């Protein structure tokens, strides 16, 4: 079902709504013949998605502000909004099969939807199912690795993380996994002890970096200890 949008409701009904659902914005006018052909096709195609793709109608005669803002020079013009911003647009009536293909292209990937659902469940079984569906998906692999670290499966977590590119999140989880196998009660004391060996001892250097990664940049001590490491190495 299409929503009639005005200059004042556009931000809420289109921009904000498009952050969760793609929105087709149909700029039309009562005197436009092709509009009377295109609008029913748009309504049919979007209604068929069960609310996954939405349709908003803008009467340019009643909402000149929107028409001017989008530089509408002829109608019908359809602007596609996604993630809070215009994604694409087309002008003029289009065949029904082209509209159906366009709407279909905006539907979420069923596999990704299933993965998100499994991640939200957050159980070990659901997280393993998510990784089985997408072995290279960072969210799935990292979520399972974090879970495994919490329940004492650090070695398996480290094995899982090797299939991913090294990102900040991957480094943080890996550091936490390694440290969980050798818990440290006093970071300051351990860092000062390791600092004496970091130049010539690769294991000590990695443990030092793991502790800094676990502490994170929000910890004011991290920057100080990074400087000390740099000074000692170079």
Active site residue 35: yes
Active-site residue identified among 14, 32, 145, 198: 32
Structure tokens at 128: 């393993």
Active site residue 142: no
d(CA 15, CA 62): 19
Which residue, 98, 97, 19, 30, is CA-closest to 54? 19
Active-site residue identified among 14, 24, 35, 106: 35
Task: List residues with catalytic annotation.
Answer: 32, 35
């Amino acid at each position: 079902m299409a929503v009639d949008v005005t200059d004042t409701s556009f931000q809420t009904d289109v921009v904000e709504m498009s952050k969760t659902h793609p929105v087709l914005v149909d700029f039309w006018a009562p005197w436009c013949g092709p509009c009377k052909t295109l609008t029913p096709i748009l309504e049919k195609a979007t209604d068929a998605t069960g609310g996954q793709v939405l349709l908003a109608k803008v009467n340019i005669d009643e909402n000149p502000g929107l028409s001017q803002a989008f530089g509408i020079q002829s109608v019908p013009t359809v602007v596609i909004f996604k993630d809070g911003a215009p994604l694409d647009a087309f002008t003029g009536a289009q065949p029904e099969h082209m509209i159906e293909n366009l709407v279909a292209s905006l539907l979420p990937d069923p596999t990704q939807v299933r993965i998100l659902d499994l991640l939200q469940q957050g159980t070990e079984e659901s997280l393993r199912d998510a990784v089985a569906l997408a072995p290279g998906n960072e969210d799935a692999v990292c979520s399972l690795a974090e879970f495994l670290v919490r329940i004492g499966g650090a070695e398996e977590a480290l094995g899982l993380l090797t299939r991913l590119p090294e990102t900040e999140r991957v480094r943080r989880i890996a550091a936490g996994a390694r440290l969980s196998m050798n818990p440290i009660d006093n970071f300051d004391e351990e860092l000062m002890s390791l600092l004496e060996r970091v130049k010539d001892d690769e294991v000590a250097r990695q443990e030092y970096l793991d502790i800094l990664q676990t502490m994170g940049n929000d910890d004011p001590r991290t920057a100080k200890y990074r400087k000390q490491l740099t000074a000692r190495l170079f």
